[in-house]
């Protein structure tokens, strides 16, 4: 077959269908709508079955810790009577060192069941290590495709660290520079090998995270007698939040507040060669969090099973320096040395707890392993080498891509709320732009209801937003 860029892109839907085994057209209806819940049912596994699948490879049932020292520090900064108890779900205890082992366990099991000889995943993050680990356990071949370098050949320490971990599990790692070649190479490999697309965004992957939400509820009831009042979830592509929220709901914790947290990287373009090494976080930042929240189907499958705006009650951001500070605080005050991504939600939970009552509880939803490229010092050294100014002071003065400001006092750690209605309107606007003008005028009741479900709002609100958007 002709493998030039345009020809391969024309075959992408055919390649995806063959490599995932899902005919996404079965769930389409109207101009915009698709049946998300029906698609999730097609996973073919109940929550109990997924728990059994994960237990076969030692995934899940990770410990929950109460962060008593950080709770005490938060209370010392909070008004009288405030300072919720902070808990942490230690997902670094999974075989590959992160919650993404849950997604990988289900996806790789399904690939094995369908008779695929290997799996491929396009990821620069912890998911690569998770897929490689699970593939080794299931005796499948594995290829991980990474976006690793800028045009000068400079690689992100954290991504290079994850490549080493993937290779340790026996995977082949294909490292690329930032740009469109990632998706092109990914498609080309899927077609050439006939391997399973172990995408982060299939129903198999998202359903795998539901066990995490379920465990959060069950463990908190065992520890406190109640479901958690709030759960803070590091948000990037949205699968973490979607799966966790669905698991909480299935456990009966439907009153728990779902809070998304991302590092503020406003002004940096994730597909820009110039900006690629100007950030100190490869995931959990607004460069992924905002686009995937407002355009969830921008993923590597036709219809993403990660739909975060359906579930989030609040979306907040923190700065890079604040996350570095909380990473150190977790190690020195609680004796837990963990990687950067989970500490995004930790920084957010530390601040939010100060506005909650003392008898309330808030959970930091996950941790990740740490290693040579993930530690604070290599990250800060890399930042300095790329012209980023490092200082001690007030984090609100931090400018992404230009400076990292470590807080001179924990009272300076703050969160910024994003406008959820603005994000909802953006999702609706993008959905309308994806169809032609004539179809925009023919939106069915099913389309409107779909947009209401997508934005966790009402059909009335959707209609009002559409009126505002229309010229």
What are the structural domain ranges in the chain? 5-51+99-200, 53-97+204-417, 429-469
Q: What is the pLDDT of residues 238-295, one digit of tens each?
A: 999 999 999 999 999 999 999 999 999 999 988 888 899 999 998 999 999 999 999 9
Query: What percent of the chain has pLDDT above 70?
Result: 99
The SS3 of residue 147 is strand
The answer on pLDDT for 441 being more than 80 is no
CA distance linking residue 340 with residue 279, whole number of Å: 13
CA distance linking residue 49 with residue 36, whole number of Å: 20
CA distance linking residue 109 with residue 120, whole number of Å: 13
pLDDT given for residue 87 in this prediction: 98
Beta bridge partners of 258: 231
Dihedral sign computed on CA atoms, order 162, 166, 168, 172: negative
Q: If residue 314 lies in a helix (H) or strand (E), which one and from where to where? A: strand 314-318
CB 236 within 8 A of CB 289: yes
CB 233 within 8 A of CB 258: yes
Backbone phi, then psi, for 261, in 5-degree steps? -135, 135
pLDDT given for residue 436 in this prediction: 78
CA distance linking residue 399 with residue 251, whole number of Å: 41
Any idea which residue has 């389409």 for tokens?
A: 28
- Could you count the other beta carbons within 10 Å of the beta carbon of residue 300? 22
* Confidence at 471, pLDDT banded by 50, 70, 90: low
Query: Is the pTM value of this prediction over 0.75?
Result: yes
* Confidence at 182, pLDDT banded by 50, 70, 90: confident
pLDDT given for residue 9 in this prediction: 87
53-97+204-417 matches 5-51+99-200 in CATH topology:
yes
Any idea which residue has 């396009």 for tokens?
A: 122
DSSP state of 296: G
CA distance linking residue 157 with residue 281, whole number of Å: 10
Residues 6+ positions from 77 with CB-CB distance below 8 Å = 354, 410, 411
The answer on pLDDT for 470 being more than 80 is no
Question: Is 5-51+99-200 in CATH node 3.10.20.30?
Answer: no
Specify burial of residue 359 (Cβ count, 10 A radius: 0-12, 13-18, 19+).
exposed
CA distance linking residue 317 with residue 80, whole number of Å: 25
* Confidence at 42, pLDDT banded by 50, 70, 90: confident
CB 162 within 8 A of CB 378: no
The answer on pLDDT for 31 being more than 90 is no
The answer on pLDDT for 355 being more than 90 is yes
Residue of 121, 307, 314, 112 whose CA lies nearest to 206: 307
Q: What is the pLDDT of residues 81-114, one digit of tens each?
A: 999 999 999 999 999 999 999 999 999 999 999 9
Half-sphere exposure of 383 (CA within 13 A, CB side): 25
Please give the average per-residue pLDDT across 174-180, as a whole number. Answer: 90
DSSP assignment string, 206-250: HHHHHHHHHHHHHHHHHHHSS--SEEEEE-SSSHHHHHHHHHHHH
The answer on pLDDT for 364 being more than 70 is yes
- In angstroms, the Cα distances linking 400 to 159, 270, 390, 405, 412 are 19, 12, 11, 10, 18
Alpha helices in 21-119, H assignment, sequence order: 36-41, 47-56, 68-77, 100-114
* Confidence at 139, pLDDT banded by 50, 70, 90: very high
Radius of gyration of the chain (CA): 21
Alpha helices in 57-202, H assignment, sequence order: 68-77, 100-114, 126-137, 157-168, 181-193
> For the structural domain made of 53-97+204-417, what CATH number should be given?
3.40.50.1100
pLDDT given for residue 371 in this prediction: 87
The answer on pLDDT for 43 being more than 80 is no
CA dihedral 107, 110, 115, 120 (to 10 degrees): -10
- In angstroms, the Cα distances linking 111 to 104, 207, 302, 436, 465 are 10, 15, 18, 37, 41
DSSP state of 28: B
Average pLDDT of the chain is 94
Please give the average per-residue pLDDT across 112-139, as a whole number. Answer: 96
Any idea which residue has 């109460």 for tokens?
A: 66
Q: 15-52: b or e for each residue (b if 16 or more CB lie within 10 Å)?
A: bbbebbbbebeebeebbbbbbbeebbeebebebeebbe
pLDDT given for residue 208 in this prediction: 96
CA distance linking residue 104 with residue 58, whole number of Å: 12
Please give the average per-residue pLDDT across 442-449, as a whole number. Answer: 91
Q: 54-83: b or e for each residue (b if 16 or more CB lie within 10 Å)?
A: beebebbebebbebeebbebbbebbeeebb
The answer on pLDDT for 369 being more than 70 is yes
């Amino acid at each position: 077959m002709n493998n030039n860029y345009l020809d391969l892109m024309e075959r992408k839907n055919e390649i995806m269908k063959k490599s995932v085994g899902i005919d996404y057209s079965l769930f389409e209806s109207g101009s915009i709508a698709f049946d998300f819940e029906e698609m999730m049912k097609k996973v073919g596994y109940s929550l109990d079955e997924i728990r059994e699948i994960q237990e076969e490879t030692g995934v899940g049932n990770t410990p929950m810790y109460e962060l008593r020292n950080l709770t005490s520090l938060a209370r010392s900064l909070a008004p009288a009577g405030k300072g919720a108890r902070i808990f942490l779900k230690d997902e670094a205890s999974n075989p590959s060192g992160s919650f993404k082992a849950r997604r990988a366990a289900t996806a790789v099991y399904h690939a094995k069941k369908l008779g695929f000889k290997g799996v491929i995943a396009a990821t620069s993050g912890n998911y690569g290590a998770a897929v490689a680990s699970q593939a080794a356990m299931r005796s499948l071949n594995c290829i991980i495709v990474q976006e690793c370098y800028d045009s000068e050949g400079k690689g992100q320490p954290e991504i290079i660290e994850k490549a080493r971990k993937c290779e340790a599990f026996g995977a082949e790692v294909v490292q690329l520079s930032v740009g469109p070649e990632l998706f092109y190479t990914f498609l080309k490999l899927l077609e050439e090998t006939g391997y399973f697309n172990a995408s982060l965004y299939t129903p198999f992957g998202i359903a795998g995270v539901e066990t995490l939400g379920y465990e959060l509820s069950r463990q908190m009831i065992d520890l406190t007698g109640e479901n958690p009042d709030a759960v803070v979830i590091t948000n990037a592509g949205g699968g973490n939040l979607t799966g966790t929220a669905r698991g909480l709901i299935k456990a009966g914790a439907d009153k728990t507040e779902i809070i998304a947290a991302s590092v503020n990287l406003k002004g940096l373009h994730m597909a820009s060669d110039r900006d690629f090494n100007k950030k100190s976080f490869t995931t959990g930042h607004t460069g992924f969090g905002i686009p995937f929240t407002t355009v969830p189907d921008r993923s590597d499958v036709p219809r993403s099973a990660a739909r975060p705006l359906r579930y989030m009650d609040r979306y907040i951001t923190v700065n890079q320096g604040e996350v570095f500070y909380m990473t150190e605080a977790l190690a020195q005050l609680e004796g837990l040395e963990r990687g950067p991504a989970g500490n995004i939600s930790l920084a957010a939970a530390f601040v939010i707890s100060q506005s909650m009552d003392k008898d309330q509880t808030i959970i930091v939803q996950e941790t990740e392993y740490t290693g040579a490229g993930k530690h604070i010092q290599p990250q800060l050294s890399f930042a300095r080498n790329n012209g980023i100014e490092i200082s001690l002071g007030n984090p609100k003065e931090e400018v992404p891509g230009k400076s990292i400001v470590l807080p001179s006092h924990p009272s300076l750690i703050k969160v910024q709320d994003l406008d959820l209605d603005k994000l909802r309107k953006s999702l609706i606007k993008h959905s309308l732009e994806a169809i032609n003008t004539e179809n925009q005028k023919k939106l069915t009741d099913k389309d409107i209801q779909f947009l209401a479900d997508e934005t966790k709002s009402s059909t009335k609100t959707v209609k009002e937003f559409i009126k505002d958007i229309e010229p």
